[in-house]
Amino acid sequence: MKGYILDLKKSENENEVKIAFVEDKETHVLREDFKKYFYLLPQGEAREKLSQHEEVEKVEEVDKKQGKALKITLKNWDSTQKVRDYIEEKELGEPREHQYPGVYRYLIDRNLYPLTYYQVEVKGEEVGKFIEVSELRNEVPALSRCAFDIELDTQGKPDSEVDPIIMISYKDEEDEEVFYWTKEKGTELETIENFLEKLEKKNKQVIEGYNSTNFDWPYLQQRAHINQVKLDLGIDGSSVKVNKRGFGSTAKIFGKLHLDAYKGVEFLTSIGALRLPKNTLEVVYEELCGKEKTDIDHLEIPIYWKEGGEKLEKLKKYNLEDSVAAYEISEQVLPLYQELTRLIGLPPYEITRQSTSNMVEWLLVRESFKFNRLVPRRPTNQEIRARRMNPIKGGYVKAPETGLHEDLVVCDFKSLYPTIVISKNIGPQTLCEDEGCKEEHHESPNGQRFHKNGESLVPQVVEKLVENRDKVKKEIKETKDPEKKKRLEYRSQALKIIANSTFGYLGYPRARWYSRPCAEAITSWGRQYIKETIKKAEEEGFNVIYGDTDGCFIKLKDNQSLQDLKKWLKEINRELPSAMNLEYEGYYPRGLFVSKKGGTAAKKKYALLRDDGKLEIKGFALVRRDWAPIAKKTQKEVIKKVLEEGKPAKAVELVENVVKKLRNKEVDTKDLVIHTTMKKNIDNYNSIGPHVKAAKKLEKEGYKVTAGTVIGYVIKEGNQSISQRAQPIQLVKNKDYDSNYYIDNQVIPATMRILKELGVKESDLKNSGKQSELGKWT
DNA sequence: GCGAGCAGCGTACCT
DNA sequence: ACAGGTACGCTGCTCGCG
């Protein structure tokens, strides 16, 4: 039969892998015998001693690129630890590749990639052989999906021992339903059962939720247990496997993909594809799907439920909308996860919970196997600490010329670090530390040498990623079908994410392939290339007003045209290594650079007006979540006015109005909320800033606050410190805020940053009421 | 005893 | 729980002044 692997797990039988294999709409459970093994760099009588060990099936000598090693095959999957203890006790050598779960080992050995089509011979439930179906190589399976969300009857902190589930909504492509009970009719038990029946009947491949890993599944599991219902949703009849630990929580359903859209949003945020003030369902839904949804305060839910009638209907609508939102948000992350799965080769569920560094690592592990190399061991905690103490020098940033500029062109190096890795053949194996070595080398500006002709895993893998991406980009151009185009764009994005993460990975203290010399060489070449480029531009007569790591901003003089610049770019690219490319990014009629507080030019902070009228703003308060909306909105308007008009008159007027409104308390409280993430747990802070103080107040009221919680607070009136006046938004009475704080610490500093560059004084903004001398600015 | 000035903490940004 | 470079608000200390 023809299909793809959706999931895998260790079978309840020893030495067997269970595979969820999808053929058309049906998911089959297949099994294959598989013996787990690991490698040993042996010492002493390792071979003899281990051959006699009762848990060892066989010991073979294998040739790996790094030399001879022993391959230790185990009688049972679970005996790895026992055999390792024995090795340590008898000092028989250094074990390698002993830490992978058995199913990963299986995927690597069989060279299998989930969500990729294979032809497979099946005898009963046994797997014969997987043969990749080449005509379907580019086909990504269309997974059937559904989403759910639960509501509780709870006061403040939910307690799964006593607070029942009152409502569960379900949503899929063609269907939606809300299951619930009331004091008059039905029970929690029936509600759960009806929902489970629905899931079973619909039998979708993906089950989605929002924060379902940490909330819905653990809660549902508890309530199901109390009601004595089995949560046996696995395609082999197994239960939902919930593992609720502080950090690496999981909720797995064998044969299905549990997709937590919240994790997806965090992932998009981590790769810089998304940035929001808060990652709540409401905010994310509006941003990604452009739709608003009703929000009911958590404390109100039981009230709506008990009241019945119209209120109950409203609660049902809200509950369903949560599922719809989770469903639609998932639509935006699932295709990317699918492409990453096909690229990295881990089971899809694992991919949805991995960081990019882990993905890079697994890609290297798999490629390592293909090159017959042993995977480097994980660093010890001590090594990690030592690595962390010794950071690597990073990119170069040129201080900008402040002020309002016209005729700007931005150029940047396309994938600077990956292309340096490729051009200079940078990897731990090509790194040459032998000073007398007579081979040909690339020598980095910081004095590291890399063999020109040697083979190294890292540059080979990066090259493959970049080449593949170029191919995919070409395909995108040739493809008319919009669906197929979208798929390819996700594939290109997946390749880009992994290629760009490779440098970070080499400098990541926990990485198996950590290499300080490689990472340092990469950044040293990076600094050299951008500095050289700036220098050459200046020699050519261009005015370079700013640069950061891999890009620079050029201000065209009156006698210079865009054509002149593009001609120069061509020349530059002729001199660069073939993999590297300095690209024309865009033309900007106006751009603004400002000073920092101390008076010198501020880096990483600018606003550009593109030739199509769009604003591109970096670093300013308005792109930061820890400023109040009133300050951000006003700053944005000011930047817009200044860039569009080239003078500050209208902007000054605008700020005056906002100041007036604040004074008169005409500003809505929601425009004053400052959001700050708790990076630590509440007790771990040495200095108590406003967000920590607000968090403490929240905790007192029974709210749960942990590392990762985003605190929203408003500064209220009073003469205590700002922190003491930080009131969490949940506890704010309308319009209880300190106007002066928002004027002097938010709106004025945010806007003065910009207006100062144009000669405006602070007093000009606060003169509201009096006629300000607008004539001055025109 | 008081305010100015500053270091250090903490967070979020840019590439 | 990918890297380093950067800005900046707030707290809480030191210091000089009287």
Distance between CA atoms of residues A425 and A442, nearest Å = 8
| DSSP secondary structure string for all residues of A483-498 | HHHHHHHHHHHHHHHH
Distance between CA atoms of residues A217 and A349, nearest Å = 15
Instruction: Assign A545 a pLDDT band (cuts: 50, 70, 90).
Output: very high
For the stretch A88-107, pLDDT in tens is 999 999 999 998 999 999 99
CB atoms within 10 A of CB A86: 17
Stretch A24-34: mean pLDDT, rounded? 93
For the stretch A454-485, pLDDT in tens is 999 999 999 999 999 999 999 999 999 999 99
Exposed, middle or buried: residue A390 (CB in 10 Å: 0-12, 13-18, 19+)? exposed
Stretch A266-278: mean pLDDT, rounded? 89
DSSP H or E stretch at residue A586:
strand A582-595
Percentage of chain A surpassing pLDDT 90? 84
Q: Are A513 and A431 in contact (CB under 8 A)?
A: no
Amino acid A769: pLDDT: 43
Of chain A residues 27-46, which have a beta carbon within 7 Å of strand C?
none
Of chain A residues 705-764, which have a beta carbon within 7 Å of strand C?
708, 721-724, 745, 749, 753
Evaluate if residue A272 carries a pLDDT over 90: no
Q: Which nucleotide is nearest to A553 (CA to C1')?
A: B15
Percentage of chain A surpassing pLDDT 70? 98
For the stretch A335-389, pLDDT in tens is 999 999 999 999 999 999 999 999 999 999 999 999 999 999 999 999 999 999 9
Distance between CA atoms of residues A162 and A165, nearest Å = 10
Distance between CA atoms of residues A765 and A340, nearest Å = 51
A358 touches strand C (CB under 7 A): yes
Stretch A182-198: mean pLDDT, rounded? 95
Tell me which residue of A223, A206, A225 sits closest to A148, measured CA to CA. A206
Amino acid A774: pLDDT: 47
Stretch A547-570: mean pLDDT, rounded? 96
Amino acid A248: pLDDT: 72
| Encoded amino acid at A299, one letter | L
Q: Which nucleotide is nearest to A624 (CA to C1')?
A: B12
Nearest-CA residue relative to C1' of C3: A504
Amino acid A46: pLDDT: 92
Instruction: Assign A246 a pLDDT band (cuts: 50, 70, 90).
Output: low
Amino acid A278: pLDDT: 84
Evaluate if residue A391 carries a pLDDT over 80: yes
Tokens describing residue A377: 């061991």
Instruction: Assign A34 a pLDDT band (cuts: 50, 70, 90).
Output: very high
| Encoded amino acid at A631, one letter | A
A505 touches strand C (CB under 7 A): yes
A504 touches strand C (CB under 7 A): yes
Cα separation values, A498 from A92, A419, A468, Å: 37, 13, 12
A141-145, A201-205, A294-298: least confidently modelled range: A294-298
Evaluate if residue A778 carries a pLDDT over 60: no
Evaluate if residue A772 carries a pLDDT over 50: no
Stretch A767-773: mean pLDDT, rounded? 48
Residues whose beta carbon sits under 7 Å from strand B? A 272, 275, 395, 412, 548-551, 604-605, 617-619, 623-626, 675-680, 685-687, 689, 691-692, 710
Nearest-CA residue relative to C1' of C1: A355
Averaged confidence pLDDT in chain A: 93
Stretch A165-171: mean pLDDT, rounded? 97
Positions in chain B where some atom is under 7 Å from a protein CB: 8-15
For the stretch A61-95, pLDDT in tens is 999 999 999 999 999 998 999 999 999 999 999 99
pTM above 0.95, yes or no: no
For the stretch A673-694, pLDDT in tens is 999 999 999 999 988 999 999 9
Beta-strand runs (E) in A364-443: 397-398, 403-413, 431-432, 441-443
A688 touches strand C (CB under 7 A): yes
Nearest-CA residue relative to C1' of C4: A394
Amino acid A776: pLDDT: 54
Distance between CA atoms of residues A514 and A375, nearest Å = 12
Sequence-distant (6+) residues with CB within 8 A of A481 are none
Q: Are A357 and A374 in contact (CB under 8 A)?
A: no
Phi-psi region of A604 (alpha: psi -120 to 50; beta: other; left: phi over 0): left
Exposed, middle or buried: residue A271 (CB in 10 Å: 0-12, 13-18, 19+)? middle
What's the CA A392/C1' C4 distance, rounded, in angstroms? Answer: 7
For the stretch A570-602, pLDDT in tens is 999 999 999 999 999 999 999 999 998 878 899
Positions in chain C where some atom is under 7 Å from a protein CB: 1-12
- A67-74 β-sheet, strand order: A56-64, A67-74, A37-42, A93-96
Amino acid A702: pLDDT: 80
